[in-house]
Structure 1
Amino acid sequence: MKNRKHLLRAATATAVVLGVTGLSACGAAKTDSPSSSGGSDSVTIAVPSWVGAEANAAVAKYILENELDMKVKLTQLDESVAFDALNSGKADALLEDWGGAPKKVELYVDSKKSVVPGGDLGVTGHIGWFIPKYLADQHPDITDYKNLNKYAGLFRTAESGDKGQLLEGSPSYTTNDDALIKNLKLEFKTVYAGSEAAQITQIRENYKAKKPFISYWWTPQWLNSQLDLVEVKLPEYKEGCDADPKKVACGYANTPLQKYLSADFAKDNEKAAAFLKNFNWTNDQQNEVAAMIADKKMASDKAAEAWVKANEDVWKAWLPK
């Protein structure tokens, strides 16, 4: 779907743990650079900086290396820059795209055809505004956006001043929230935690203290199995309602997450490309690996190894015939 004006989440601290190699936006934007693949036995995967995407890449890397004898490099890139890297050959695959760079898809996939679709990841993403259930129990009508102004005082912080705070993740995320606040005439202000990891820390602290909070949040997310959060009802999403970023006055869509491959890589490395196209798992399966990495603090390769060993019946079907 092309309606991900939503999310390029980040977990910088988690990325360090995962050992994902950085690739600058400047370098990725060059279109005359040679492919990073270095031949048909090498794969470079672009990894957006949230832990769900890191879970995809870790499992793909483990299987590519151990079952298909490939050399795999992971490089951390936000979605928009990842498309530049696929176009230039600095990256071969992007395994989780939320539709946040529709102009890049139009340019590289539809027009230049330097990037090709890799199919559904199997995971459906959704973004919204969430509050803790204990707050919804205290104020049942708070789950309708039309009543949020009545409760704005509950969410005031030093950072939000006289307005209610809407907690955001990283400034690199693409969201509709400032437009929603303006267009729905809400007395709120977006305040950024700085990263996925920092946002989770703040949510956990507030939840433990039973404090009121409202946050931009999403599924799939491993933390949702530990905290009882309730989504605030925003105006219903309808196709095209988010076409103009400044006029958005609707909620977020349910988004089947997509994979993309460099066209040259897909042509030159048919075995690896076939595997990545076949890679397809569920929200729960992604959350299982993400929780091992972010919550249990396992190294990404160890988390991937544990999942692969326990789920042979799932990933065997991904191997090229």
Structure 2
Amino acid sequence: TDKTAQDAGQTGNEGIIGWYIPKFFADANPDILTTKTNPQILNKYADQFKTSESGGKGQILDGDPSFVTQDQAMINGFGLNFKVVYSGSEAASNKAIQSAIDQQKPILAYYYTPNWFSAKVALVHLEFPAYTPGCDANKTKIACDYPPYHLNKIVSTKFATSGSPAYTVIKNFTWTNDDQNSVAADITGSMSDDDAAKKWLDANPDKWKAWLPQG
């Protein structure tokens, strides 16, 4: 069967889902960053992440309860004295994170990057034992991190074989999470799509010139 679409390579982005804390808290408590080899270190800080909603345990803030996460399973798998509390939405989580940082209060939250909000606040990803295929098979008790996600460019075969220089640009296109976050933050901050793109292009000529057909 003839393929109607094909892979034009990775975008350069890496989707990183997981648990995040404010950078100021990580800087003040560097041993919390040892969760990759010692996940139970979080229990040392459970009291500092407590809220009125977490029932005497540390709080991990999730967003919309209808969005499936593995956070409760990680609490079970690592034996953590924490409770999942739902903010209700991503917007509510953003507000809670921003408020905690503004007040220099600890917060532990489910989050992900690339995301425009990541360009606005200083968050640090807590790494846990790396994901390996099958480590999340038991959906109630997981002792590994979320898997990373690599994003690919998918194009029509017709476009890929058209000889168009535009395909060369798409195939060569690559940028980082920081690149995407900065453009997305500008757009969210009321800049037009075109103006945000132009700002990035003006600041990164070496990157986009490498995408162009050569010769």
Scaled by the length of structure 2, the TM-score of the pair is 0.73
The unaligned stretches of length 5 or more in structure 2 are none
**Secondary structure of 1:259 counterpart:** strand
Equivalent pair of 2:21/2:108 in contact (CA under 8 Å): yes
Match of 2:111 in 1: 217
Note closer, same or farther for the CA distance 1:231–1:282 as it changes in structure 2 (3 Å cut).
Answer: closer
Is the CA contact (8 Å cut-off) linking 1:241 and 1:250 kept in structure 2? no
| Shift in CA distance, 315/195, structure 1 to aligned 2, threshold 3 Å | farther
The residue correspondences of 1:71-90 to structure 2 (distance < 5 A) are none
CA gap of 1:177–1:310, structure 2 versus 1, over 3 A, is same
TM-fit CA distance, 1:165: 1.9
User: Deviation of residue 146 (structure 1)?
Assistant: 0.3
Partner of 2:49: 155
1:175 maps to 2:69: yes
Distance 1:285 1:133, change over 3 A: closer
Match of 1:308 among 201, 206, 209: 201
- d(CA) in 1 for partners of 2:2, 2:40: 44
- What are structure 1's unaligned runs of at least 5 residues? 1-110
Deviations 1:239-295 (A, max 9, x none): 31445261531123444332223556656796554433322112332232122123x
Q: Tell me which residue corresponds to 1:200.
A: 94
SS of 1:318 mapped into structure 2: coil
Matched, 1:165 2:55: no
Structure 1 CA distance for aligned equivalents of residues 199 and 138 of structure 2: 42
Q: Distance in 2 between matches of 1:242 and 1:270?
A: 44
CA distance in 1, matches of 2:85, 2:17: 17
Q: Specify whether residues 239 and 213 from structure 1 end up closer, same or farther in structure 2 by C-alpha distance, changes over 3 A only.
A: same
Give the CA deviation at 1:194: 4.3
Corresponding position: 1:239 with 2:129: no
Could you report, residue by residue, the CA deviation over 1:208-256 in whole angstroms, capped at 9, with x for unpaired residues? 112221012334455555544344342x214314452615311234443
Identity rate of aligned residues, in percent? Answer: 44
Instruction: Give the Cα separation in 1 of the matches to 2:161 and 2:63.
Output: 37
Tell me which residue corresponds to 1:276.
Answer: 170
Contact kept, 8 Å, 1:241 with 1:248, in 2: the verdict is no
Closer/same/farther in 2, CA of residues 242 and 263 from structure 1, 3 Å limit: farther
Secondary structure of the residue that 2:45 maps to in structure 1?
helix
Paired AA for residue 22 in structure 2? P
Structure 1 residue 258 corresponds to structure 2 residue 152: yes
Give the conservation status (yes or no) of the 8 Å contact 2:10–2:174: yes
1:118 is the counterpart of 2:36: no
TM-score (norm 1): 0.53
- How many Å separate the matches in 1 of 2:196 and 2:124? 29
**In proportion to residue count, which structure has more helix?**
1
- 242 and 176 in structure 1: CA distance in 2 versus 1, 3 angstrom threshold: farther
